[in-house]
A and B are shown apart, each in its own frame.
Chain A
Amino acid sequence: MNQPVLDVRGVSKRFPGVLALDDVSLTVAPGEVHALVGENGAGKSTLIKILTGVYRPDAGDVHYRGEPVAFGRPLDAQAAGISTIYQEVNLVPLMSVARNLFLGREPRGRFGLIDLARMNREAAEVLAGYGIDVDVRLPLRSLGLGAQQMVALARAVAIDARVVIMDEPTSSLEPREVDTLFRVVRELSGRGIAIVYVSHRLDELYQLCDRVTVLRDGRRVHTGELAGLDRLGLISLMLGRDAAEVRRDGLTGFSAHDAGDVEPILRVRDLSRAHQLHGISFDVRPGEVTGLGGLLGSGRSETAKAVVGALGADGEVTMAGQRLTRRSPAAAIRAGMAMLPEDRKAEGIVPGLSVRENIVLAAMPTLSRFGVVSRAKQDRIVETFMKRLRIKAASPEQKVSELSGGNQQKVLLARWLCLHPRLLLLDEPTRGIDVGAKAEVQALIDELAADGLAVVLISSDLEELVEGADRIVVLRAGAVVGELAGDDVTEDNIMTALAQEPAHD
């Protein structure tokens, strides 16, 4: 093997209450695509943050191009040629797309002023190369999460990098964008750029990566060629259980339900919103998982949001026979609905509050007396759900922002489950969750459905959708283009339904 470009030796990092990294080593050669895997909270993001100077290691050191380095801040690492796409989109939401793409290296015109016209033109060209066609003058936040992630990718690649680190880059991308990402990764690798690739989607790893390092509880448990390791072997390394055990428990936790002709609990009729939703109608029955299928931008998230009143829309929403008139998230919750939003960082966690307070956020009024919160009641609920969802935190009082991405997602699930809803809308519920926990969450959804809960499932992971949903409503450009039930629920049929009708506009 040639000289490694990145060489991490015996790095340890401790946070209050947890040893996030324990004597971890990692070497990456130029042109290599190196997978970094492990359960939620295994220490992947922490290792990456040490490489890029966000954290300083307590022990051990990092060698880059043969020299020991200690970056004071991410900008220094970037300047040295280590460029990173973080798990959570890390750009400036209010600045224009072009601005974000060129931040810190804007093209200059006369008098050293930013040449706006040129910047916008070049930005549009660059993004077109990634299959993104947007008005680059719009603020970044007006883009969907997937498109934002692509901007981050374009930005990371445009910087003259020798190492590109990607922390779950595909978790908010749709299949077409994932293809683009793969193409870019292969291109980079061909140019001799080293890539560290973190993902919970094992298929991706096998398609892209040469070698793999497995972390468990902050320790490195394996490094080697990926080709020499099968899926089951990889999973058992991550979970620390032997392969036979993993096989017996199965990999997805779904089973089919038959709601028969039970009365629907949710009736949606003619949901419309200018430019986004065009007369969407569907029913959801208790004891059944109804999937919303479609590509990014097909209106799945908007539909879910409109149903719970978080997005203004015309049309009728009837819950358990009651037509909802004044629609708002609060009214929806009172009617027995709960929605797990797609964007964890922007719409989910309250970063400054503890795990406990994030879990009870929606249920707080019921857990208090005369407007004074009852800690005893809260603690009981929080304990139950932290156990049930196996949330890994130092204590319930730990700040939620200090949890790993997947554990934050579980906290949000707990927030909704502890309301004991009758209808649960899940927008990408397993995003960023490791294989073990994913099966647990899927099993949980299953169990809840079996208990009579009505579930609406949105997932860009077709496999999850097909296995999880008993019925699928396929959306395209904000309109229903098909409905599949029973044995018709297959990936092929979804793809066909999606291809059938031409786009709305």
Chain B
Amino acid sequence: MTEATVKTYAPPDRIRPARLLQDYGVYAAVALLVLFNVAFTDNFLQAATLRTQLVQVAPVVIAALGMAMVIGSEGVDLSVGSVMALAAAVLPLYIGYGFWPAVLIALVVGGLVGVVNGTLVSVVGLQPIVATLALLVGGRGLALVFADGQLKGIKDGTLLELGTGELLGVPYTVLIAGCLAVVIGFVVQRTTYGRQLVAVGGNRAASHLAGLPVKRVLIGTYVLCGVLAALAGVLATARLGASDPSAIGNLMELSAITAVVVGGTPLTGGSIRVLGTVAGALLMQLVRATLINHDLPDSAAQMIQAGIIAVAVYIARERRTR
């Protein structure tokens, strides 16, 4: 055999299957589920069904995008669900000033929560789980105070339109989620901030010594996560046509983390998979929908979801130890 053929020949390696599974497993799973549904679920390919699925998953995708960045920084943000509730609670208070001011204020509130989280993590040095736990609990409480513990109907036309309207047959919410995925993908892959974020998540001490603005990067990331969560809250409120701070975003932190992990982003930081996160959210949504369509009880659905998470975490582990 000549030197050249030796170089191009790539023999099967034990590392490869695990790596392939982690890199592409989530897309394969989504494809399989879609095929399964096309074959066995009535009306699956109808526009209305597809749209429902996408509309339902859009807020999860948006929250999960922020979560993916925080997890990539070697952190976690447990407060996203509460931020959604806060955003929902703030909307009716300011909607009198018009659509844009109200939405802007909701987003600012999300950003403020991010400032607090990011400061606790990077300046005070708390562990992310602990730091964001405070606002997981406190945030929803605050939301209920803002809202007087009541559900409030939304009458603003623009806001309702945002929840139900569409452009060329694609609901606004889906469109927004899609655009954000592209933007975040670009930010992570191509901007200085994005690369610094991945470096900080990969080795914080080294990043500090290399002169990276570690604190700014971390705070910025939690702020971005907070703003995205607030946007998810606004969209969920718009779709519901009512502000319901006691229900909106419940357990969203878990859905978001699940989407990120299933999408192949390691919990150990230093790597962010944006497209994988979107696919992860889609996968979990499809699983739930499929099981409900085929009349499995909710408890079974939850167990199957747990199984998927376990598999995803196992695959991620496999790769790290190899």
A residues near B (Cβ < 8 Å) are 14-16, 19, 55-56, 58, 308, 310, 328-330, 332-334, 339, 341, 346-353, 357, 361-362, 364-365, 368, 371-373, 415
B residues near A (Cβ < 8 Å) are 6-7, 10-11, 13-14, 190-193, 195-196, 198-199, 202-203, 205-213, 270-271
A-B contact pairs, 11 of them (CB 8 A): A16-B10, A308-B209, A330-B212, A330-B213, A333-B210, A350-B199, A352-B270, A353-B199, A357-B199, A361-B199, A371-B191
Do residues A373 and B192 form an inter-chain contact, with CB atoms below 8 A?
A: yes
Which residue of the partner chain A has the closest CB to B208? A329
Q: Across the interface, which residues of A come within 8 angstroms of B202, CB to CB?
A: 350-353
Known: A352-B271, A353-B198. A329 touches B10 (CB 8 A): no
Do residues A361 and B207 form an inter-chain contact, with CB atoms below 8 A?
A: yes
In the complex, what distance in Å separates the CA atom of A353 from the CA atom of B212?
Answer: 15
Do residues B192 and A372 form an inter-chain contact, with CB atoms below 8 A?
A: yes
Known: A14-B13, A347-B205. A415 touches B199 (CB 8 A): no
In the complex, what distance in Å separates the CA atom of A67 from the CA atom of B220?
Answer: 58
In the complex, what distance in Å separates the CA atom of A362 from the CA atom of B13?
Answer: 34
Most buried by A among B11, B13, B203, B207: B203
Do residues B206 and A348 form an inter-chain contact, with CB atoms below 8 A?
A: yes
Whole-angstrom distance between the Cβ of B57 and the nearest chain A Cβ? 28
Do residues A415 and B210 form an inter-chain contact, with CB atoms below 8 A?
A: yes
Do residues A371 and B212 form an inter-chain contact, with CB atoms below 8 A?
A: no
Do residues A373 and B211 form an inter-chain contact, with CB atoms below 8 A?
A: no
Do residues A329 and B191 form an inter-chain contact, with CB atoms below 8 A?
A: no
The 10 A-B pairs of least Cβ separation, nearest first, read A352-B270, A330-B211, A350-B202, A333-B211, A362-B210, A350-B203, A352-B202, A347-B205, A368-B192, A361-B210
Known: A329-B209, A330-B211, A350-B270. A372 touches B190 (CB 8 A): yes
Do residues B271 and A365 form an inter-chain contact, with CB atoms below 8 A?
A: no
Most buried by A among B14, B193, B202: B202
Most buried by A among B10, B199, B207: B199
Which residue of the partner chain A has the closest CB to B189? A373
Q: Across the interface, which residues of A come within 8 angstroms of B212, CB to CB?
A: 330, 361-362
Whole-angstrom distance between the Cβ of A204 and the nearest chain B Cβ? 29
Do residues B11 and A365 form an inter-chain contact, with CB atoms below 8 A?
A: no
Known: A351-B203, A372-B190. A364 touches B196 (CB 8 A): yes
Whole-angstrom distance between the Cβ of A453 and the nearest chain B Cβ? 18
Q: Which of B6, B196, B206 contacts A349 (CB 8 A)?
A: B206
Q: Across the interface, which residues of A come within 8 angstroms of B195, CB to CB?
A: 357, 364, 373
Q: Across the interface, which residues of B come within 8 angstroms of A16, CB to CB?
A: 10, 13
Which residue of the partner chain A has the closest CB to B186? A372
Whole-angstrom distance between the Cβ of A215 and the nearest chain B Cβ? 17
Do residues B209 and A339 form an inter-chain contact, with CB atoms below 8 A?
A: yes
Which residue of the partner chain A has the closest CB to B205? A347
| Additional A-B contact list (7), CB under 8 Å, known A308-B209, A346-B205 | A14-B11, A16-B10, A55-B14, A58-B13, A350-B202, A364-B192, A373-B190
Which residue of the partner chain B has the closest CB to A328? B211
Do residues B207 and A371 form an inter-chain contact, with CB atoms below 8 A?
A: no
Known: A350-B270, A364-B195. A329 touches B203 (CB 8 A): no
Do residues B203 and A349 form an inter-chain contact, with CB atoms below 8 A?
A: yes
Whole-angstrom distance between the Cβ of B118 and the nearest chain A Cβ? 18
In the complex, what distance in Å separates the CA atom of A269 from the CA atom of B271?
Answer: 42
In the complex, what distance in Å separates the CA atom of A351 from the CA atom of B203?
Answer: 8
In the complex, what distance in Å separates the CA atom of A15 from the CA atom of B322?
Answer: 12
Q: Across the interface, which residues of A come within 8 angstroms of B213, CB to CB?
A: 330
Q: Across the interface, which residues of B come within 8 angstroms of A362, CB to CB?
A: 210-212
In the complex, what distance in Å separates the CA atom of A364 from the CA atom of B198?
Answer: 13
Which residue of the partner chain B has the closest CB to A367? B192
Whole-angstrom distance between the Cβ of B246 and the nearest chain A Cβ? 40
Which residue of the partner chain B has the closest CB to A348? B206
Q: Across the interface, which residues of A come within 8 angstroms of B198, CB to CB?
A: 350, 352-353
Most buried by B among A308, A349, A362: A362
In the complex, what distance in Å separates the CA atom of A372 from the CA atom of B194?
Answer: 9
Which residue of the partner chain B has the closest CB to A419? B211
Q: Across the interface, which residues of B come within 8 angstroms of A310, CB to CB?
A: 208-209
Do residues B14 and A56 form an inter-chain contact, with CB atoms below 8 A?
A: yes
Which residue of the partner chain B has the closest CB to A347? B205
In the complex, what distance in Å separates the CA atom of A372 from the CA atom of B190?
Answer: 6
In the complex, what distance in Å separates the CA atom of A365 from the CA atom of B7?
Answer: 36
Whole-angstrom distance between the Cβ of B16 and the nearest chain A Cβ? 9
In the complex, what distance in Å separates the CA atom of A308 from the CA atom of B209?
Answer: 9
Which residue of the partner chain A has the closest CB to B72? A352
Q: Across the interface, which residues of B come within 8 angstroms of A348, CB to CB?
A: 203, 206
In the complex, what distance in Å separates the CA atom of A55 from the CA atom of B14?
Answer: 9
In the complex, what distance in Å separates the CA atom of A371 from the CA atom of B203?
Answer: 21
Most buried by A among B203, B209, B213, B271: B209
Which residue of the partner chain B has the closest CB to A332? B211
Q: Across the interface, which residues of A come within 8 angstroms of B205, CB to CB?
A: 346-347
Q: Which of A15, A328, A351, A365 contacts B192 (CB 8 A)?
A: A365
Whole-angstrom distance between the Cβ of B136 and the nearest chain A Cβ? 25
Whole-angstrom distance between the Cβ of A408 and the nearest chain B Cβ? 12
Do residues A350 and B271 form an inter-chain contact, with CB atoms below 8 A?
A: no
In the complex, what distance in Å separates the CA atom of A368 from the CA atom of B192?
Answer: 7
In the complex, what distance in Å separates the CA atom of A349 from the CA atom of B199?
Answer: 9
In the complex, what distance in Å separates the CA atom of A58 from the CA atom of B11?
Answer: 8
Q: Across the interface, which residues of A come within 8 angstroms of B207, CB to CB?
A: 350, 361
In the complex, what distance in Å separates the CA atom of A56 from the CA atom of B202?
Answer: 27
In the complex, what distance in Å separates the CA atom of A56 from the CA atom of B14?
Answer: 8
Q: Across the interface, which residues of B come within 8 angstroms of A365, CB to CB?
A: 192
Whole-angstrom distance between the Cβ of B206 and the nearest chain A Cβ? 5
Q: Across the interface, which residues of B come within 8 angstroms of A415, CB to CB?
A: 210
Which residue of the partner chain B has the closest CB to A12? B11
Which residue of the partner chain B has the closest CB to A375? B190
In the complex, what distance in Å separates the CA atom of A278 from the CA atom of B10?
Answer: 58
In the complex, what distance in Å separates the CA atom of A332 from the CA atom of B206?
Answer: 15
Known: A16-B10, A56-B14, A350-B199. A341 touches B209 (CB 8 A): yes
Which residue of the partner chain B has the closest CB to A360? B195
Q: Across the interface, which residues of B come within 8 angstroms of A58, CB to CB?
A: 11, 13
In the complex, what distance in Å separates the CA atom of A19 from the CA atom of B8?
Answer: 11
Q: Across the interface, which residues of A come within 8 angstroms of B7, CB to CB?
A: 19
In the complex, what distance in Å separates the CA atom of A365 from the CA atom of B195?
Answer: 11
Whole-angstrom distance between the Cβ of A425 and the nearest chain B Cβ? 11
In the complex, what distance in Å separates the CA atom of A46 from the CA atom of B307?
Answer: 35
Q: Across the interface, which residues of A come within 8 angstroms of B13, CB to CB?
A: 14-16, 58
Q: Across the interface, which residues of A come within 8 angstroms of B14, CB to CB?
A: 55-56
In the complex, what distance in Å separates the CA atom of A361 from the CA atom of B206?
Answer: 10
Q: Across the interface, which residues of B come within 8 angstroms of A368, CB to CB?
A: 191-192
Which residue of the partner chain A has the closest CB to B9? A14
Which residue of the partner chain A has the closest CB to B6? A19
Q: Across the interface, which residues of B come within 8 angstroms of A351, CB to CB?
A: 202-203, 270
Q: Across the interface, which residues of A come within 8 angstroms of B211, CB to CB?
A: 328-330, 332-334, 362
